[in-house]
Chains A and B, each alone.
Chain A
Amino acid sequence: MAPRAAARLESLGFEQVYEYRAGKLDWLAAGNPTEGENSKRPRAGDVARKDVVVCGLKDLVADVRKRAAAAGWDVAIVIDDARVVLGQLRSEQLEEESGLAENSMRAGPSTFRPYVPIKEMADYMVEHQLESVPITTSAGQLLGVLRKGDAVREAGGAATARRMITS
């Protein structure tokens, strides 16, 4: 649609026409602010906690477990240098595993975009019994972790839209 709009404007004599081809989806998925009715309702990115414990592939699970416990988390996210999510250490891995995070993590966890309405996230997490989920940009970079309890609490009365994106 945007390419056709750009072409039409040029045909109408506009000489400085640019196209943001990645579009609103890209903007929203990066967690950027918007204007409009939906901007007044809480979304996954608004409710996600940013103080989540993260670690690298070569970190020792025992060390991560201590950091997580000290910070009050029962989950840790394994990321690379660009904060791209590589895996997740849930409570069962943190409690039982030793060795490297790389060998203990659950690789490729489902991630969700920050613009998903919180009501939709709450319903999904309850239905699928998910205690926490990573919230990432479309490039897979960690923005935070959404806890089910937070999502359910914030969801009260929030409207549900239908653009659930997971990857």
Chain B
Amino acid sequence: MATLVDRDAIETMVKQGAQLVEVLPAEEYVEDHLPGAVSHPLRQLDEGAGEIDRNRPVIVYCWDAA
């Protein structure tokens, strides 16, 4: 199971090489996304997973906890 991280941890993790992955639909990514994040919508995640570096931490996020 993935480890939960909070807002404060993200900046440090990204500076240390973590990848931010937004899994919302692409239109929402175009509107707003966290700095440096890439878009891999959940429904296309299987196809996009090859573009994610397996050797670096991956932080996934969507809109909220709901």
Contacts and interface: CB of A to CB of B under 8 A. Distances in A.
Interface of A: 1-10, 12-28, 30, 32-39, 115, 161
A44 B30 CA distance: 20
Given A18-B3, A23-B62, A35-B34, 4 more contacts: A1-B42, A19-B3, A19-B4, A19-B61
A5 B33 contact: no
Interface size class of B (residues with CB under 8 A): 35 or more
Nearest to A34: B32
A62 B34 CA distance: 44
A44 to B, nearest CB: 14
B30 A37 contact: yes
B6 interface: yes
Given A22-B65, A25-B64, A16 B33 contact: no
B4 A34 contact: no
Contacts of B52: 9, 14
